[in-house]
């Protein structure tokens, strides 16, 4: 079985690799960013990876967009997210997008190999206790300005219109959109608007 682990924290990546190698996974490749992961996948087309683990917060991921790019490039691989910060809501959206699993970085070492083998076999892995955690309302984490921008998205307004109404530079509105998408676990402004309509009423 060939594994690819993409995580920008060297110690975490190396620790996961060491744990898996100790559990019988001898072919483990580690990279530190999404672009490096995409390069590794393209370079190994003849010997494709069986399981790919992506850190949700590493450079280049841009929310769940990075997950979708990897799944498109490696359609036969079982792709899963790993994270120490992502919420159960983000995990749920990742699974809905096609991820084969979500592995919190708090997962016990002896459970890691079991999870990998389960994912590789075609099953979906996500810890039940993690998904059962009470999640705080993501809207509550938005600043007032981000909430204003989210309301604009819900109304279908462009960045330019929102910039005029809020007396902001258009590039500032664009940054607010990107930040609130990350906070809501949305992959794009359309999904953020759908979440906003549900939460804001």
Q: What integer pLDDT is reported at residue 128 of this predicted model?
A: 83
- pTM for this one? 0.67
DSSP single-letter state for residue 159? H
Residues 6+ apart with CB under 8 A from 95: 101, 102, 124, 126
Identify which of 68-77, 87-96, 138-147 has the greatest average pLDDT: 68-77
Q: Which residues of 183-199 are buried (b: 16+ CB within 10 A; e: fewer)?
A: bbbbbebebbbebbeee
What pLDDT score does 66 carry?
Answer: 94
Q: Each residue of 121-158: pLDDT tens digit?
A: 999 999 987 776 645 567 777 888 999 999 999 999 99
Average pLDDT over residues 109-129: 92
Domains of the chain: 2-131 (3.40.50.2300), 138-200 (1.10.10.10)
Question: What is the full DSSP assignment across 59-126?
Answer: TT-TTTHHHHHHHHH-TTSEEEEEESS--HHHHHHHHHTT-SEEEETTS-HHHHHHHHHHHHTT--B-
Give yes or no for residue 31 having a pLDDT over 70: yes
């Amino acid at each position: 079985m060939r594994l690819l682990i993409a995580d920008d924290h060297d110690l975490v990546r190396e620790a996961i690799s060491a744990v898996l190698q100790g559990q019988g996974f001898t072919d483990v490749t580690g990279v530190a960013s999404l672009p490096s992961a995409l390069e590794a996948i393209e370079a190994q087309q003849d010997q494709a990876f069986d399981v790919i683990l992506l850190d949700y917060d590493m450079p280049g991921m841009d929310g769940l967009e990075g997950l979708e790019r990897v799944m498109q490039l490696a359609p036969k691989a079982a792709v899963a997210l790993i994270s120490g910060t992502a919420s159960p809501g983000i995990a749920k959206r990742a699974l809905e997008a096609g991820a084969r699993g979500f592995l919190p970085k708090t997962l016990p070492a002896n459970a890691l190999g079991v999870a990998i083998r389960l994912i590789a076999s075609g099953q979906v892995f996500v810890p039940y206790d993690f998904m059962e955690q009470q999640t705080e309302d993501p809207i509550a984490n938005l600043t007032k300005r981000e909430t204003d921008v989210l309301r604009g998205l819900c109304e279908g307004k462009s960045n330019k219109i929102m910039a005029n109404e809020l007396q902001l530079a258009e590039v500032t509105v664009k940054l607010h959109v990107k930040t609130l998408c990350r906070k809501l676990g949305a992959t794009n402004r359309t999904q953020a608007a759908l979440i906003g309509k549900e939460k804001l009423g």
